[in-house]
Structure 1
Amino acid sequence: MELKKIDSDFSVCKVENLEQTDLSRDFMFVSKTDEEISVVCRTCDVPGNTTERSDGFRAFRIEGKLDFTLIGILAKISSALAKNNIGVFAISTYNTDYILVKNSDFDKALEVLEEKGYRITD
């Protein structure tokens, strides 16, 4: 399986509303529940009405379109990283999954996954 590094710093944010969220940006993930609105985006694109944020993430994505019948892809990746004390923040889209880890763990995470047989591309 191939993983593609995304060359950007990311932030995880809580926002008041989506008025200042630029949905035209390449990486803008929005989650809304009855309790909150969360945005994950490049750090340079953090909305101005952010009330809480956590900076310092890097990301990679699982390449290709993942069929919904595939089981355990995200579990295998997160398990391998957890065994090496690397926390993950996962985002799923219709096509694939994105894995975010703290900057300080990024190189180690890629090393662990390469050792598990994943192919890493730029």
Structure 2
Amino acid sequence: MELKKLDQDFSVCKVKDYSLVDLGAEYCFIGKTDEEDSLVCATSDVPSNVVERDDGWKGFRIQGVLDFSLIGILTGIAEILAENGISIFAISTYNTDYVLMKKESYQKALDILGRTGYEIVE
């Protein structure tokens, strides 16, 4: 399975509202609940109406379109990284999954996944 490295630095945020979020940005993941308005975006795209933010995330995506009937794809990656003390922030979209981890763990995570059979692509 191929994992595509993402060049951007990411931020995980809570925003006051989505009025200043650039929905046209290359990466913009929003999640709205009864408790919060969340945003994950490239650090360079963080809007000014942030309530809280956590910078310093890097990530990759699972290449290709994952059929909804597939089981355990994200779990397999999460287990390997958890066994090596690497925490993740996972985001699922219609097509695939994105996996973020803190910048200081990024290269270690890629190295471990590469050794366990995942193909890391630029």
Question: C-alpha separation between the residues in 1 aligned to 2:83 and 2:47?
Answer: 34
The yes-or-no answer on 1:16 pairing with 2:19 is: no
1:79 aligns with 2:67: no
Ranges in structure 1 where 5+ consecutive residues have no aligned partner: none
Q: TM-score, normalised by structure 2?
A: 0.99
2:52 and 2:102 mapped to 1: Cα distance? 17
Superposition pairs for residues 56-67 of structure 1, below 5 Å? 56-67=56-67
Letter in 2 for 1:38: S
Distance 2:101 2:64 in 1: 20
Deviations 1:65-90 (A, max 9, x none): 00000000000000000000000000
Matches within 5 A, 1:1-122: 1-122=1-122
Partner Cα distance (1:62, 1:23) in 2: 22
Consecutive aligned runs of 4 or more in structure 1 exceeding 2 Å deviation: none
Gapped runs of 5+ residues in structure 2? none
SS in 1 for 2:120: strand
SS in 1 for 2:117: coil
How far off its partner does 1:51 sit? Answer: 0.4
Q: Distance in 2 between matches of 1:80 and 1:39?
A: 26
What is the one-letter code of the residue matched to 2:68?
A: F
Tell me the CA shift for residue 115 of structure 1. 1.1
Q: Distance in 2 between matches of 1:17 and 1:39?
A: 10
AA partner of residue 82 (structure 2): A
Amino acid in the other structure paired with 1:74:
L
Deviations 1:20-66 (A, max 9, x none): 00100010000000100100000000011000000000010000000
Mapped to 2, the partners of 1:63 and 1:83 lie a distance apart of: 23
